[in-house]
Amino acid sequence: MRSRATPWVWSGALVLALGSLAVAGDGAEGKDALLARYAEYQQKQRASGAVALQLRAAQQRYVEARATLHQFRAGKSAAELSKLGPQIDALEAELISARQAYEGQAQGDLGRRYRQQKAELQAMLRSLAAGVGKLLREQDEPQLRRLRAALFVDKGHFSLAERDLRAVLKTSPKDALAITLRGQCNEARGATPLALADYRAALEIEPSDERRIRAAVAAYWLNEFDLALELRNAVEDLTQLPAQLQIDHAWYLKKPLLESAQQRWAAELEQRAADAKRGDLPRVELETSRGKIVLELFEDQAPNTVANFVELVEQGFYEGLPWHRVQPLRLAVTGRPKEPGQDPAGPGHAIEGEARLAGARRHFRGSVGCLIRGPQRRGGSQFYLLLRPDTDLDGQCTVFGRVVTGLEVVAELKQDDLLKSAKVIRKRRHAYKSKKLPVQ
């Protein structure tokens, strides 16, 4: 049964919790003052969120106008484009209008108001955290620890928040607020399976639309698209969610996207079953600073990319290279040579992309992709490991494998961690020789 929207507001639950402290015991005036300051902080946070949503809407119009123009031009020759002058002029006019509107808001009164609100919120946040800390030194109350944990989460100090949450959950293991906060901490450090488990546990205790959406997003990141769509469909009014949650996750909450993801994942699982039945796809083991990762390579859909990768692995190309680009919760990239020669970004040659071949694999959590470069969108030696699905990369970058084991290691990778070694642990009985192109 679809639930009615039941937006969950931090301020109400936490203020009630603190209110019970304020009327009991000594130091009531101090707690009352803290309550008032926290309520003011929440009110300013909502006001700032409303402004942020306005700015985001203008930005989104600009991004969509730019993408529409790019897609319209893509794949067309100069002769074809010359015949489409009026359409291109109209799209360019829309892009200019959207950009001017966004820049006008961001640099004008609305943008200034938002920046001022954010500065005020940061100051209030520091003051509140200090005030709660002082009260905790006088009286160690689980409710106060929970409040401080919420403030730490707002500040991005997740390890400090987890310390307080452990104390809260030790005495109150069914505290839905604390469990949800722990889920946010797990999510922030890349432990998405634990985050989803926390959000679902909190939902069982105290259902709310915010928890449903947090769980839906975590499920999406984990390729659990059926669950993501089920949770999303249970929320009727997304506008009642906290503004930052809407801004951070609006893209994942579109029902057509989730339905499309379901279909793509069903096709992927069917292909993986066929791969497993044959049981002969090449595999490569990566030894990193954080542990081992095993990759399975999609030779049937990306034969030249796989051949190139196997060659480089067997040549020892990747040994000792850093993970030079790590985006937490999204991807980790390596393969840029330590001592660049004529080709500072790759192995001295290029390979043709295979992202648009028939049967090309899509980007899911755990996908291994070949980083492209240049206007001809060719690959080389750099590759990435994905921590969440990314449809924007489909048709652009070649997916040539998946992580079989070690996704938790990928989540722990930090910038400049090392890829200590790479070795082929299984391959088919034929020579792996890639078709190489000159670097342009």
Q: What angle do CA 331, 334, 335 make, to 5 degrees?
A: 145
The per-residue pLDDT for 374 is: 75
d(CA 233, CA 243): 19
404's CB contacts (< 8 A; 6+ apart) are 283, 294, 295, 296
Query: In terms of CATH, what superfamily is 280-426?
Result: Cyclophilin-like (2.40.100.10)
pTM: 0.86
Signed CA dihedral, 360, 363, 364, 368: sign only: positive
In the structure, how many helices (H) and strands (E) does the chain have?
15, 9
Q: What is the DSSP string of 251-302?
A: GGG-HHHHHHHHHHHHHHHHHHHHHHHH----EEEEEETTEEEEEEE-TTTS
Q: Are 187 and 156 in contact (CB under 8 A)?
A: no
Torsion angle, CA of 36/38/39/43, rounded to 10 degrees? 140
Q: Are 379 and 385 in contact (CB under 8 A)?
A: no
Among 16-25, 90-99, 294-303, 379-388, which is the least confidently predicted range?
Answer: 16-25
293's CB contacts (< 8 A; 6+ apart) are 285, 286, 385, 403, 405, 406, 407, 409, 410
User: What percentage of the chain carries pLDDT values higher than 90?
Assistant: 72
In the chain, residues under CATH classification 2.40.100.10 are 280-426
The residue-averaged pLDDT of 166-174 equals: 96
Number of neighbours of residue 334 by Cβ within 10 angstroms: 24
270-284 pLDDT per residue, tens? 999 999 999 999 999
Q: Are 334 and 420 in contact (CB under 8 A)?
A: no
CA-to-CA dists, residue 421 to 240, 310, 348, 366, angstroms = 49, 13, 20, 20
Is pLDDT of 10 > 60?
no
